[in-house]
Amino acid sequence: MLAAMKKEIFLRKDELQDKKLQSLYFGGGTPSILSAAEINSLTDEVLKYFSFENDIEITLEANPDDLDKNFLKGLSQSYINRLSIGTQSFFEEDLKLMNRAHTASEAESSIKRAQDFGFENLSIDLIYGSPTSSLEIWKENLNKTIALEVPHISSYALTVEPKTALDNWIAKGKVSIPKEEEQNKEFYYLSDFLKDNRFEHYEVSNFAKPGFYSRHNSAYWKYKEYLGIGPSAHSYNGYDIRSWNVANNQQYIRKLNSAILAKETEILSQEDQFNEMIMIGLRTIWGVDLESLNSKFSAGIFETFQKEIQSKIKEGILIIEDNHLKIPEKHWFMADGIASDLFLV
């Protein structure tokens, strides 16, 4: 797999216009099963064809149970300078419901160990709205996060995916369906609590202390180009071309062994580009740049859009600030629905 990924890096080295990278992200599956030496070997391969900004952000997604002392020691001597830890919860019942391999004690101890090895730029994932949770438990999760001095939090409502263990348990009546009303309440408590603790709510699901915004995610939300390497990885040229690699590992390796890229490519239509800009922009504090929207799309599209937003502006669920269209934060829980109402069809 590593050899195939290195081959893909070589074959696609000319796809990015900017050869000086601001962000490198090891994510997607479970990259923390790699050794620090293997992670470095991939980074070295990238450095053959690209250079790094002096303050580049290099993130590794990791499961708490992978972050033992030996692994963290190796990471502390590697290129990695940011960890995104899949904590999910500090409560045992929540973790069992989500079928997580780590325990509640590992969730906490992995963060402390990472800090002991010098990793201050940490992000953790937290899930709210679980049927095994409550507002009181959610408050304890957040208090624990503040006590651990984690500077970045990504938080998502629990969703039930088809054909999962949770879907099966709900069908059999073992657990109840997550309640949207409860999730709504926990979302707004999350936002208020973290802002009271000096976090900035910069995207619907993301909160950061000043200076700790995710550079990788921010680039995505601002429609910048990115190159994805490995099975299932997605890439975007910053304009109208999106591509994605095959998900099957064996097929991916077999094609790269023959120097064939294992990807599919899509030319985004004007409608696709417009809808993506609306969907992504309205989920952030930056909103949608109306000047950019006007220059990128036809006069007819922009005029129709201007008419569509008037009723929502009157309702107060959309506002215009500094020529950027935004959703007031108190309505962010409905962001996807508000955005979809404005899609071109």
pLDDT in tens, 269-307: 999 999 999 999 999 999 999 999 999 998 889 999 999
pLDDT value, residue 166: 64
pLDDT at 33 over 70: yes
Mean pLDDT (whole number) for 313-331: 96
**Residue percentage of the chain with pLDDT more than 90:** 82
Could you give all domains of the chain from N- to C-terminal order, each with its CATH number?
Answer: 18-220 (3.30.750.200), 275-345 (1.10.10)
Average pLDDT over residues 134-153: 96
- Which tens digits make up the pLDDT trace of 254-264? 999 999 999 99
Whole-structure pTM value: 0.92
pLDDT over 70, % of the chain: 97
Q: How far apart, in whole angstroms, are the C-alpha atoms of residue 92 and residue 103? A: 6
Using pLDDT thresholds of 50, 70 and 90, give the confidence band for residue 169.
Answer: low
Residues 239-251, mean pLDDT to the nearest whole number? 96
- C-beta separation of 229 from 235 below 8 A: no
CA distance linking residue 41 with residue 43, whole number of Å: 5
DSSP readout, 241-304?
A: EEEEE-S-HHHHHHHHHTT---EEEEEPPHHHHHHHHHHHHTTBSS-EEHHHHHHHS-HHHHHH
pLDDT (average), residues 321-342: 94
Residue 162's pLDDT band, with cuts at 50, 70 and 90, is: confident
Find all residues with CB under 8 Å of 91, minimum gap 6, and list them.
Answer: 104, 132, 133, 137, 140, 141
pLDDT band at residue 167 under the 50/70/90 scheme: low
Nearest CA-CA partner of 202 in 320, 326, 343, 87: 326
